[in-house]
Amino acid sequence: MLNFIKYEWLRRWKFFLAGILVFVLADLDLFSRIISQESPNYISVILIALVFTLSAALVVDHLGRLYRTLFSDEGFTELTLPLSGYQLLGAKLLAIFLECVAVMTIVGIVAYFDAIYVDMIALNWQLPSLTWEIGLEVLKGLGFILGGYIIFVLMVYLSLALAKSIFATFKHGILIAFGCFIVLAKVVDYLGDILSVSARYYLHGSVAFMTTTDWLIIIVLIGLLFISTGFLLNRKMNL
């Protein structure tokens, strides 16, 4: 499994490096312009556009990782490795999860240095001091976003897996995958509605707080999606 992650990253390290570089450059550029009160020029625009493009590319790449396995000839390599479908999916998801954590950490570090710099030149920005409570809230927020993202990725993966297993005899696999995704989105939405929203309102009367139930729902959803996708990858693929 770790070997699998190794090759996922060997394939992309240049892309990651470029992304980080562009992000840091964009941050430096913007920040120096704010300090010196210059208006951003075309370089800033290009840098920011690049940051957005690369982030979008990362998302597309995350979704494409299973697409490439199931819809291209490379699948004959990956699906004949002595790994179970669960291991394969687990490795892919773990890689994606770690990449997201890495992106968040890098953004966090850059933001932290920005804040220190602001403090140093005393622009009269009132920085709230970092307490455990705030830290925990931030972590919770990030965890929620990450959980949501993983669910989204898994929904796409399950749709792709369905298109290449149960619906494999039909042509236009990608259209079928899209159809599966729409149905899945409805189901997940519905589940979220009946389970989460009611629970949240009952317990807190507010949507601002994540309850234990909410976390549980995220975990259960990830679990269900993982098991069903892994099961299909393990025993039901028709390449």
Question: What residues make contact with other proteins under the rule CB under 8 A?
Answer: 3, 6-7, 10-11, 73-77, 79-84, 165, 169-170, 234-239
Smallest gap from residue 67 Cβ to other proteins (A): 14
The CA distance from 94 to 115, in Å, is: 31
Instruction: Count Cα neighbours of 156 within 13 Å in the Cβ-side half-sphere.
Output: 16
Smallest gap from residue 84 Cβ to other proteins (A): 5
Smallest gap from residue 87 Cβ to other proteins (A): 8
Contact 44, 26 (CB under 8 A): yes
Closer by beta carbon to other proteins, 7 or else 202: 7
Closer by beta carbon to other proteins, 32 or else 72: 72
Contacts of 232 (CB under 8 A, 6+ apart): 85, 158, 161, 162, 165, 166
The CA distance from 183 to 23, in Å, is: 36
Closer by beta carbon to other proteins, 27 or else 78: 78
Closer by beta carbon to other proteins, 44 or else 234: 234
Smallest gap from residue 102 Cβ to other proteins (A): 20
Contact 158, 225 (CB under 8 A): yes
